[in-house]
Structure 1
Amino acid sequence: MSALGHERSTGIDAIFQFTGSGMQLFSGAIFYIIIVRLFTTTAVGAIAFFLAVVGLFSIVFSFGLGSAAQHFISYHIGTKDYHAARWTIYKIISWGFLFAILGTLALVFLSSDVSLIFLHNTQYSGLVRLLSIDLLGNLLFGVLNGSLLGLQNFRVSAVINSVIWGVYYFGAIGMALYLRDLDAVVVGWIFGIFLGVFIESLVVFRTIRHYLTPKKTGGTRTNVIMKYSFPILLSSIIGYGAAYADRFIVTGLLTLSSLGVYNFALLVASSIGFLAVPFNNMLLPKFSYLFALGRKSEIKENVKASSLLLSSVYVPAALGIAALSPEIIFLLGGVNYSGGSVPLAVIMIFSAIFVSQNIFTQAVASVRKTHLFLYASVASLSANIVLSFILIPLFGLLGAAIGFSSVYAANFSVLAYFAMRERVVGLDLIGMLKIWVASAVMFFVVWVISEGIMHFISYNNLFIVLYILIGFAVYSVLARYIKIFSREDHDLVISLFPEKYARLRKLISIIMLH
């Protein structure tokens, strides 16, 4: 039996993590829906830019410390050296605070230049300086949440994230409704994120207050932490460029209108990413725990099981979105964005093919080979730039979608190679094939029905609900018939849920076994 469930509540932790990531997605979606109705397109563009600035500066000034916290804290817990875990948290949070201050000062110093270069005037300089406070909160929240995950308090982390991101976005909505200006939106963000910093600080420091043992060690050395986190920083920066290269090339070779349509398709495509977030949050601490115990072979076993579980959820969802891409684009954006339906379908299919890269990333990071991420990010950036320059002039937004999708392929290929070299990767090829057969049939059925209805009946948004139900039914029936999950897979998943959740365990058995 896999050691993934060494704590028998892991399954419940995962449900909480799904809820937390889902709440963030839902809150963000509601925020955008309301904001576009309150402000002009220029103001909405400024808000989107503010979020992008916070995202970019967070990547640079987080220095990969959130991932370092997850790994090293879990490692010390695995070796039962709680004193080392405690001091490691102190070190990482101290460095995180220092980098957060530096990031804040950098944004304040660059506020006029950022406003002039990207927003074409300096009237937003004051807002950018105000945004630096939100950046400070985001950086502190990131390192504290990494510490919480490293302590394996997955449920608490999920609850805090659910509350905080709800307050973050709905607080901004409330302020915007009341004051009707952009300053109010940023103030709402600031209130939400610092509430999260306050709550997570209380939880983390109260938890480690009890981490006292006779064995007095100084925790992980600072140079070891930096050696682990610095490649994450560099690869994240390069990866950020890889994710946006196609958009810059679209801007140069096509029109701004095309960029708007393409950006909207990418926004829809990114929404499915919440399905992988719980795996990303939980597996690095779990794998690091196994690495500390010297059970590296079990990481491979768990990569195999986790890849199958993630694919069984992600692949049908992605292919379902691909099949319904015209309807989804029309529902969310209207007829002006219809040109994004084919790019959306292409991106969804490629993301489904290479979704296991999420699991490989955690496996490689757990054995302290983070420098290998640099190879993956450079390969991703190169693939996107080359293919986008070649294909966009020929195929327009379809070429851009292929260029963007090459990031998935390059990242997967490099990480799979190194993960196999480190002997921490395993794949259930038969199980994966069954998932793809069931998902492909579902895709074909949903696509044929949706196209048929569109030819004979005028479009109605309620049809999307019908298509989703049909797709779910087709995939579920086929999954049961071709037996995607083995008895061993079933036993593994059941072991993650305590016996007191008998009804939930029974439901899982009904779904997985046949």
Structure 2
Amino acid sequence: MNPIKNALKSLSVTTTNVIVALIFFIITAKISNPAFFGKVAIIQLLEVITSAFFYFIPGQIITREISYLYARKEVNKDVIGKFISLPFLSFPVFLVLLLFPTYVKLAIPYLFLYLLGGVLNSIMIGMDMFTETAIAGNLFLIIRWGISILAVLQHNIYLFVEIWTLGGIISDSLGYFFIIKKIGFVYPLLYLPFLFKHFREGLPLYLSSLAGFFSSQGDRVTTAYLLGSYYLGIYQFSALVAGVPSMVLGALGGVLLPTASFYKALGKDERRMSSISFRLLSLISFLAVIISIPVAIVVVDKFFPAYEGGIEALILLLLATTLPFPIGSLVNFIVASKKDLRPFLVLSILNGGLTLLTSFLLIPRLGIVGGAISQIIVSIISSSFIVFYALRTSTFIPSRKEIMLLLAMPLIGVYEVFVDPPFLDLILLLLVILIFKAFKVIEKEDVKLVESFLSSKLKFISYILRLIN
């Protein structure tokens, strides 16, 4: 289980997503309008609802269990088949969408495939099948954003949903084929005691996901309700652009759970793993924020002038999703160490309620910027809780270096909000690099550990780390 190689494979999917989605949005912005984009946003919102409400056994639990079995060479077809049956158990719940408009009804098969794809990906990641996951993911994204341009040209939301459904069929079939090739023929095996056991174990995460939907999407739902699909389109577009850095980081952080579970099963110390990951991800997150904000502003000004009204919200959303990423990564080590997950339920309920409350209070007064401020508030609360709980469970024990990085996060956020000229970001960029070098935040032992996972073609990464060290 090589975290660096796996991260690069995952990054290929993110790169494809960014490139083809950018082309899609450029064309959509030129030939369509925010109202049509708002309908696309509703389909994407249904994806999030599917992940939050219908994923009865969270993907983290599936990946962790498969990773533990894989490390001990105990993976078998029965376990895989039982997990694959989960989407079929969830399918009847999708029928509630028959009460909604026609194009939402048409999305039912796609949403089922979307859920099935999530389960297949969780299984493949747990078995170190990152190459196969990347192939299926890239193919799906090319169909999702590339071929669906045909639907945009015709302003046909029904054709749009049909193309996405086709992408789901092809991607899921490919993922299923890869699993069969790895372990032999497997079929869905509905065994309720097995599913209920893991549902009960993952219940705090599942309920947290439900509440987390309102904390992450409550601002969009409130925007749609109070301001309509036009402003939802602008806000959703701002959120998508702002989410690009966190998508890239997500490709890097996505390998942490299977890697931590794999090496935890082999007896490695999760505290050292969490410390190294936190420091490396902090460096990448800080640089991503500082570089992404001026780039995002230029991209919107040049290619998407109709969405310039969302730039302020874009900056706030980018800070809310990217800056605290190293803190959020600590959750992977908490899950991998099989710590009590119930406190996350309390946090999610608090965040969900707070998002709805602040959105209803701020959006009527500040517009979509109010929704972005709501996300900033939730981000601060979530990050503070995760740090506290990671300390309490001893999965993360910060030294002075980690404490310094924690204090630097809000300072960088304030700088980006209140320091206006974009060229001043260059000063902040140099300052961050100098601080990492002066205080030796990346230690020699960290570089050696990273080097142990690098192939000859990736040695330049160690050179960069040694330069900073």
Structure 1 counterpart of 2:147: 171
Deviation of 1:203 (Å): 0.8
Q: Provide, for residues 332-375 of structure 1, a one-character-per-residue CA deviation record: whole Å limited to 9, x for no partner.
A: 432x6444333333333344442223212212222333333212
For residue 233 of structure 1, the aligned residue among 206, 209, 215 is: 206
Structure 1 counterpart of 2:20: 27
* Mean Cα deviation higher: 52-61 or 144-153: 52-61
Corresponding residue SS for 1:356: helix
| Contact in 1 for aligned 2:279/2:441 (Cα 8 Å) | no
TM-score after normalising by structure 2:
0.84
Kindly indicate whether residue 6 of structure 2 is the aligned counterpart of residue 49 of structure 1.
no
Q: Provide, for residues 193-218 of structure 1, a one-character-per-residue CA deviation record: whole Å limited to 9, x for no partner.
A: 1111111001112212399xxxxxx9
How far apart are the structure 2 equivalents of 1:176 and 1:254? Answer: 24
| Contact in 1 for aligned 2:11/2:252 (Cα 8 Å) | no
Kindly indicate whether residue 75 of structure 2 is the aligned counterpart of residue 82 of structure 1.
yes
How far apart are the structure 2 equivalents of 1:347 and 1:47? Answer: 20
Aligned 1:22-171 pairs, distance under 5 A: 22-39=15-32, 41-83=34-76, 86-99=77-90, 101-107=91-97, 110=98, 113-115=99-101, 125=102, 127-171=103-147
Query: How many residues end up aligned between the 2 structures?
Result: 459
| Contact in 2 for aligned 1:58/1:135 (Cα 8 Å) | no
Q: Provide, for residues 137-178 of structure 1, a one-character-per-residue CA deviation record: whole Å limited to 9, x for no partner.
A: 11111111111011121222123212221122212224655x
Structure 2 counterpart of 1:120: none
TM-score after normalising by structure 1:
0.78
For residue 283 of structure 1, the aligned residue among 245, 249, 256 is: 256
Aligned 1:423-442 pairs, distance under 5 A: 423-427=394-398, 429-430=400-401, 433=404, 436=408
Structure 2 counterpart of 1:193: 168
Structure 2 counterpart of 1:464: none
* Mean Cα deviation higher: 150-159 or 318-327: 318-327
Q: CA RMSD in A?
A: 3.5
* Mean Cα deviation higher: 408-417 or 136-145: 408-417
Corresponding residue SS for 2:388: helix
How far apart are the structure 2 equivalents of 1:388 and 1:329? Answer: 24
Gaps of 5+ in 1: 1-6, 116-124, 212-217, 453-466
Corresponding residue SS for 2:396: coil
How far apart are the structure 1 equivalents of 2:135 and 2:70? Answer: 22
Corresponding residue SS for 1:82: coil
- Report the structure number with the largest CA radius of gyration: 1
For residue 458 of structure 2, the aligned residue among 485, 501, 504 is: 504
How far apart are the structure 2 equivalents of 1:155 and 1:134? Answer: 24
Residues 450 and 419 (structure 1), Cα distance of their counterparts in 2 relative to 1, 3 Å cut: closer
* Mean Cα deviation higher: 268-277 or 186-195: 268-277
For residue 357 of structure 1, the aligned residue among 307, 310, 327 is: 327
| Contact in 2 for aligned 1:357/1:415 (Cα 8 Å) | yes
| Contact in 1 for aligned 2:286/2:432 (Cα 8 Å) | no
Residues 245 and 219 (structure 1), Cα distance of their counterparts in 2 relative to 1, 3 Å cut: closer
Corresponding residue SS for 2:329: helix
Residues 197 and 247 (structure 1), Cα distance of their counterparts in 2 relative to 1, 3 Å cut: closer
What is the identity, as a one-letter code, of the residue corresponding to 1:114?
A: F
Residues 357 and 13 (structure 1), Cα distance of their counterparts in 2 relative to 1, 3 Å cut: same
How far apart are the structure 1 equivalents of 2:308 and 2:37? Answer: 21
Gaps of 5+ in 2: none
Residues 232 and 257 (structure 1), Cα distance of their counterparts in 2 relative to 1, 3 Å cut: same
Structure 2 counterpart of 1:377: 348
